[in-house]
């Protein structure tokens, strides 16, 4: 799915309108027909909320998404923008007055692909930090980290650290990626749009900024 900056602006504004409408009216916004028409192709996406005033540490305030393209993109964003604000179990529900200090980021995902290896050490050469997001799965355990995670907030992870943290996100041991029999590692890319400031201009995000 190819999206330009204008598309990103529409999606960000739609996500913010949806969140703020729910926080004041206790219901999702009615989706405008032009949004349905423009973003009718199925797509996976994550919506991330960040606290703008937090200059040090991790500003994450909420992040929820769908990995696979199950719904039209407009419906995915309709669902997960709200969930990121009120359903992320790591955080309390966002309050309306917080939205003045929250920036919205939307990551539109490519379809994940299994990374084929015969030796787990091959992962270290096949995964590119700054390009790839990772999904680690073992039975009912699944962990996902977006492509921007290993680089942002001065993390500067290498591939090994990225793999270890994705395993831990799946509630597995850090070295679960070495188990080729029971553990699957998938990669994906993402097109990312973000507000530069709360309710401010929108840009397409270059990972590592």
For residue 31, give the CATH number of its domain.
3.30.700.20
- Give 28 or 201, the one with higher predicted confidence: 201
Q: Are residue 96 and residue 198 in the same domain, yes or no?
A: yes
Q: Are residue 86 and residue 118 in the same domain, yes or no?
A: no
Euclidean distance between CA atoms 21 and 34, whole angstroms: 18
Averaged over 128-148, what is the pLDDT? 96
Return phi, psi of residue 26, to 5°.
Answer: 65, 30
- Cα dihedral sign, 28-38-192-123: positive
Euclidean distance between CA atoms 130 and 171, whole angstroms: 23
Q: Are residue 103 and residue 13 in the same domain, yes or no?
A: yes
Residue 27 confidence class, pLDDT cut points 50, 70, 90: confident
Q: Is the pLDDT of residue 75 over 70?
A: yes
Segment (H or E) for 33: helix 33-38
Which range marks the domain in which residue 76 is found? 5-110+190-204
Inter-CA distances, 186 with 69, 117, 183, Å: 15, 11, 10
pLDDT of residue 208: 56
pLDDT of residue 7: 97
Q: Are residue 67 and residue 140 in the same domain, yes or no?
A: no
Q: How many domains does the chain have?
A: 2
pLDDT of residue 53: 86
Q: Are residue 124 and residue 195 in the same domain, yes or no?
A: no
pTM: 0.91
Nearest CA among 184, 96, 110 for reference residue 146: 110
Euclidean distance between CA atoms 27 and 46, whole angstroms: 20
Q: Is residue 48 part of a domain?
A: yes
Q: Is the pLDDT of residue 101 over 70?
A: yes
Q: Is the pLDDT of residue 71 over 80?
A: yes
Please report, for the chain, how many H helices and E strands are present, in that order: 5, 9
Q: Are residue 22 and residue 42 in the same domain, yes or no?
A: yes
Q: Are residue 101 and residue 9 in the same domain, yes or no?
A: yes
Q: Is residue 183 part of a domain?
A: yes
CATH at 167? 3.30.1490.150
Q: Are residue 199 and residue 169 in the same domain, yes or no?
A: no
Q: Is residue 33 part of a domain?
A: yes
Q: Is residue 209 part of a domain?
A: no
Helix (H, G, I), strand (E, B) or coil at 178: helix
pLDDT of residue 54: 75
Averaged over 187-194, what is the pLDDT? 96
CB-count burial class (<10 Å; 0-12, 13-18, 19+) for 177: buried
Euclidean distance between CA atoms 143 and 13, whole angstroms: 28
Q: Which residues pair with 184 in a beta bridge?
A: 137
Q: Are residue 105 and residue 199 in the same domain, yes or no?
A: yes
Q: Which of 51-60, 97-106, 115-124 has the lowest mean pLDDT?
A: 51-60
pLDDT, the chain, mean: 95
Averaged over 83-88, what is the pLDDT? 97
Q: Copy the structure tokens of residue 26.
A: 């206790």
Q: Are residue 94 and residue 15 in the same domain, yes or no?
A: yes
Q: Are residue 79 and residue 128 in the same domain, yes or no?
A: no
Q: Is the pLDDT of residue 182 over 60?
A: yes
Q: Is residue 87 part of a domain?
A: yes
pLDDT of residue 24: 95
Q: Are residue 102 and residue 41 in the same domain, yes or no?
A: yes
Q: Is residue 54 part of a domain?
A: yes
- Give 207 or 141, the one with higher predicted confidence: 141
């Amino acid at each position: 799915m190819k999206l330009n900056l204008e598309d990103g602006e529409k999606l960000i504004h739609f996500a913010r309108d949806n969140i703020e409408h729910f926080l004041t009216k206790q219901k999702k916004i009615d989706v405008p027909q032009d949004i349905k028409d423009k973003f009718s192709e199925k797509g996976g996406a994550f919506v991330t909320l960040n606290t703008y005033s937090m200059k040090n540490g991790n500003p994450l305030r909420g992040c929820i998404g769908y990995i696979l393209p199950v719904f039209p993109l407009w419906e995915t964003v309709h669902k997960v923008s709200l969930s990121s604000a009120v359903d992320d179990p790591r955080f309390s529900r966002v309050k309306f007055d917080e939205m003045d200090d929250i920036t919205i980021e939307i990551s539109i995902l490519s379809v994940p692909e299994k990374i084929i290896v015969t030796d787990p050490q091959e992962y270290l050469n096949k995964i590119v930090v700054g390009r790839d997001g990772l999904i680690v799965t073992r039975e009912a355990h699944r962990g996902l980290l977006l492509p921007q995670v290993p680089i942002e907030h001065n993390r500067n992870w290498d591939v090994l650290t990225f793999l270890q943290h994705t395993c831990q996100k799946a509630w597995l041991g850090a070295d679960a990626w070495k188990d080729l029999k029971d553990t699957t590692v998938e990669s994906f890319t993402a097109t990312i749009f973000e507000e530069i400031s709360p309710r401010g201009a929108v840009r397409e995000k270059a990972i590592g900024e």
